[in-house]
């Protein structure tokens, strides 16, 4: 296996965004950001996310072989062995938990573990191949990243982290179902019951819009509950309108083109929302 293939196993861009999710949970509750804590939290989350991603590569190697997008992956081609993958996943998760526990506390480590557990056990092993609700429950993986970050700070006010965890939970289906429209034939070929395979593109587009209405509503709660101020509130309202605009366009024209744009829009939506949390709290 080449170094490039090894890095591919870690799903690095996703790991970095998971770390950013945790950093947002930290930034939402801390009074003064400590750069050292922020870097150690990033390291722990990247290790935990990468561990989960490696396990996913190993577990899904059979169906990855059947899908154009994933057929060249190291575990699908046999460049990496399952034994190596499981060992690497275990080492990375132990390393992430050790950093989380020794640098912070056992609550951070627990939420890091639970995020990985939801993604690996609930989504990858249990639901992904069985039922279209896989992404709804699997979305909790990102929620635990927020809570892991908030647990860095020894505080008792969990309302804002819980609301942000709800936002992450609701963001995930809007993020993934748009991509699933693009990948529908791949998933049908592999026998994976993603929503578009089960109900078609048009009804999936309606599901995305309905889910995003709940997502945008939840994103306004930190402002309406007085947990964050107008800088965040306007950011949430503006990004929410843009996301819903893409979703409405997809409902009107449920094509691969607009599904691609909806998926592409889901990441900057979350990124700008995270920036709004930081600007409101620390600017
Ligand atoms: C169970 C929940 C999730 C599922 C099933 C899911 C699904 C996916 C899939 C299939 C891709 C395309 C990957 C590829 O082709 O390489 C993707 C990309 C991505 N996801 Fe998600 N996602 C989930 C949760 C999350 C979370 C919680 C985050 C971050 C907060 C996230 C951030 C991203 C990013 C940044 C990309 C683009 C990665 C790249 O360009 O390589 N995802 N997601
Ligand atoms: C706190 C913590 C450690 C959280 C873990 C969160 C995590 C790793 C989420 C993974 C998100 C993701 C890209 C899933 C894709 O799986 P897939 O199998 O549907 O995608 P694929 O077909 O591209 O492999």
CATH number, residue 183:
1.20.120
Is 183 found in the same domain as 95?
Answer: no
User: pLDDT tens digit string along 100-157?
Assistant: 999 999 999 999 999 999 999 999 999 999 999 999 999 999 999 999 999 999 877 8
CA 118 – ligand 2 centroid, Å: 10
Q: Are residues 180 and 239 both part of a single domain?
A: yes
pLDDT tens-digit readout, 169-188: 999 999 999 999 999 999 99
Domain that holds residue 173: 157-282
CATH number of the domain at 77, please. Answer: 1.10.357.140
Query: Tokens 């989380």 belong to which residue?
Result: 100
What spacing in Å lies between the alpha carbon of 60 and ligand 1's midpoint? 15
CA atoms of 208 and 272, how far apart (whole Å)? 20
Element (H, E) at 253: none
DSSP-derived 3-state class of residue 255: coil
Per-residue pLDDT, 83:
95
Q: What is the pLDDT of residue 157?
A: 82
Establish whether residue 173 lines the binding site of ligand 1, counting it when its CB lies within 6 angstroms of any ligand atom. no
Name the domain boundary from 107, 129, 156: 156
Q: What is the rounded CA–CA span in Å between residue 21 and residue 54?
A: 20
Cα separation, 150 vs 170, in Å, equals 19
DSSP codes joined into one string, 153-216? S-----HHHHHHHHHHHHHHHHHHHHHHHHTHHHHHHHT---HHHHH-HHHHHHHHHHHHHHHH
Is 143 touching ligand 1 by the criterion CB < 6 Å? no
Nearest protein Cα to ligand 2, atom 23: 70
14 shares its domain with 135 = yes
Do 83 and 26 lie in one domain? The reply is: yes
Per-residue pLDDT of the chain (283 residues; tens, 9 = 90+): 899 999 999 999 999 999 999 999 999 999 999 999 999 999 999 999 999 999 999 999 999 999 999 999 999 999 999 999 999 999 999 999 999 999 999 999 999 999 999 999 999 999 999 999 999 999 999 999 999 999 999 877 899 999 999 999 999 999 999 999 999 999 999 999 999 999 999 999 999 999 999 999 999 999 999 999 999 999 999 999 999 999 999 999 999 999 999 999 999 999 999 999 999 999 8
171 and 79 assigned to the same domain? no
Atom of ligand 1 nearest to the CA of 123: 1
Q: Atom of ligand 1 at shortest distance to CA of 138? A: 1
Do 77 and 49 share a structural domain? yes
Question: Does 209 lie in the same domain as 120?
Answer: no
pLDDT of residue 156: 76
Among 122, 156, 190, the domain boundary falls at 156
Q: Would you say the CB of residue 177 lies under 6 angstroms from ligand 1? A: no
Atom 40 (ligand 1) nearest CA: 13
- Report the domain count for the chain: 2
Global pTM?
0.95
Looking at the fold, whether 114 and 196 belong to one and the same domain comes out as no
Q: Are residues 236 and 103 in the same domain?
A: no
Whether the CA torsion 102, 103, 106, 112 is positive or negative: it is negative
d(CA 229, CA 226): 7
* Nearest one of 172, 146, 140 to 158, comparing CA atoms: 146
Q: Are residues 184 and 109 in the same domain?
A: no
Question: Do 115 and 20 share a domain, yes or no?
Answer: yes
Residue nearest to atom 37 of ligand 1 (CA): 14
CA separation for the pair 219, 239 (Å, rounded): 10
Q: Which residues, judged by CB distance below 6 Å to any ligand atom, belong to the binding site of ligand 2?
A: 11, 14, 18, 48-49, 52-53, 56, 60, 70, 112, 115-116, 119, 124, 141-142, 144-145, 148
pLDDT score, position 280: 97
Last residue of a domain, one of 132, 156, 180: 156
Q: Write down the pLDDT at residue 22.
A: 98
Same domain, 87 and 164: no
Contact 15, 41 (CB under 8 A): no
Residues 6 or more apart whose Cβ sits within 8 Å of residue 158: 150
Separation of alpha carbons 147 and 221, rounded Å: 17
Q: Which residue among 20, 21, 175, 182 has the greatest number of ligand 1 atoms within 8 angstroms of its CB, and so is best to mutate?
A: 175
ipTM over 0.85: yes
């Amino acid at each position: 296996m080449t170094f490039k293939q090894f890095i591919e196993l870690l799903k690095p861009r996703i790991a970095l965004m998971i770390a950013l999710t945790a950093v947002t949970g930290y930034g939402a509750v801390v009074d003064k950001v400590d750069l050292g804590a922020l870097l150690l939290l990033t390291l722990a989350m990247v290790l935990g996310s990468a561990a989960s991603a490696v396990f996913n590569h190993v577990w899904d190697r059979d169906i990855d072989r059947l899908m154009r997008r994933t057929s060249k992956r190291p575990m699908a081609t046999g460049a990496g062995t399952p034994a190596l993958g499981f060992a690497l996943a275990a080492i990375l998760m132990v390393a992430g938990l050790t950093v989380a526990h020794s640098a912070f506390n056992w609550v951070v480590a627990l939420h890091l573990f639970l995020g990985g557990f939801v993604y690996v056990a609930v989504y990858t092993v249990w639901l992904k191949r069985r039922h279209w609700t896989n992404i709804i429950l699997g979305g909790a993986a990102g929620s635990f990243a927020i809570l892991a970050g908030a647990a860095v700070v020894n505080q008792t006010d969990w309302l804002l982290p819980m609301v942000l965890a709800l936002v992450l939970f609701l963001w995930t289906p809007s993020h993934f179902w748009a991509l699933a429209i693009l990948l529908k034939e791949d998933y049908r070929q592999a026998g994976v019951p993603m929503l578009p395979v089960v109900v078609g593109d048009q009804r999936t587009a309606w599901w995305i819009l309905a889910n995003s209405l709940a997502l945008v509503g939840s994103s306004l709660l930190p402002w309406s509950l007085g947990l964050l101020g107008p800088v965040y509130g306007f950011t949430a309202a503006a990004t929410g309108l843009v996301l819903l605009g893409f979703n409405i366009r997809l409902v009107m024209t449920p094509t691969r083109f607009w599904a691609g744009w909806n998926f592409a829009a889901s990441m900057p939506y979350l990124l700008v929302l995270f920036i709004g949390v930081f600007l409101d709290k620390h600017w």
